[in-house]
Amino acid sequence: MDEIRMICPAKINLSLDVTGKREDGYHFVKMIMQSISLEDVVTVRRIKDGIKIYCDSSEVPCNETNSAYKAAKLIFERYNINGGVEILIDKKIPVAAGLAGGSTDAAGVIKAINILYEMNLSLQDMMDLGVKIGADVPYCILGGTALSEGIGEILTPIKPVENLWCVLAKPHFAVSTREVYSKLKIDEIPRHPDINKLITYIEKKDYKNLAENMVNVLETVTMKDYPVIFEIKNIMMEFNALGSLMSGSGPTVFGLFENKSSGERCYNRLRDYLKEVFLVRTCN
């Protein structure tokens, strides 16, 4: 096999808690991650040597700063692979949006190289590589519904959240994850999510209680700088979302809906003044 096409889904955080900070600056997190049907398509081809990267979005750097490039470089160096890859990214996930767009592309590249070069790496081997690229990469390799702990590298699969409709709305600006975490004052967080209770709701398929009790502690930082996030959440609730939350460090906001028609009404309303709005489903 000389070429493989990987479907690389975005993620949302059904809740996100920060419990502490390491000396190296990384934060300890406890969060529920969920794959959604907003996807990049990453095509990886074997070539004689080197790493070449192309993307159809001008917002994505096609050089060594790209997470997909870093993933390829790491795996080639770690395993002394004799060869190279050409990476083509068909970008659908918004950039710097709190949806793990770069991380999911990196995950796709790691999985693709494992297949193309017949490396027989285990899921855990690939996840161990991924965390060296970014905290969300191990989850993106695993996918589905999962509890994420540590700095993102300790993952426990949870019963899937199946076919729940989700409206995503990304304001026109980007947010720096590093900056948001640096501004977070852990001892001043007003409300933490009850992650264990939320997992129980997921296991019982009680999505109403799940949605009503979602908490993202990073909202306290990002919403202060960008009040439009609060406005979007309010609109989603006005259109009968089960619950609404900012994903990751933002600025994307999502709302969960019981059925497609409810989601479509909210989607159409938000399309009036935001360019990047999506109606998707949870996937596993």
Query: Which residues form the catalytic set?
Result: 11, 136
Encoded amino acid at 217, one letter: V
Please check if 171 is assigned to a binding site: no
- Burial readout 166-181 (b: 16 or more C-beta within 10 A, e: otherwise): bbbbbbeeebebeebb
Nearest of 130, 127, 166, 161 to residue 34 by alpha carbon: 161
Please check if 131 is assigned to a binding site: no
Work out the end-to-end distance of the chain between its first and last CA atoms, rounded to an integer number of angstroms.
26
Report how far residue 213's alpha carbon sits from residue 172's, in angstroms, rounded to the nearest whole number. 27
Cα–Cα distance list, 249 to 88, 216, 243 (Å): 27, 9, 18
Please check if 174 is assigned to a binding site: no
Nearest of 28, 10, 11 to residue 19 by alpha carbon: 28
Please check if 104 is assigned to a binding site: yes
Please check if 96 is assigned to a binding site: yes
Please check if 97 is assigned to a binding site: yes
Count of beta carbons in the 10 Å neighbourhood of residue 106: 29
Please check if 94 is assigned to a binding site: yes
Please check if 25 is assigned to a binding site: no
Contacts with 127 (C-beta within 8 Å, 6 or more apart), sequence order:
137, 138, 141, 142, 153, 155
Report how far residue 134's alpha carbon sits from residue 112's, in angstroms, rounded to the nearest whole number. 18
Report how far residue 96's alpha carbon sits from residue 170's, in angstroms, rounded to the nearest whole number. 10
Please check if 134 is assigned to a binding site: no
Which residues define the annotated binding site for ATP?
Answer: 94-104
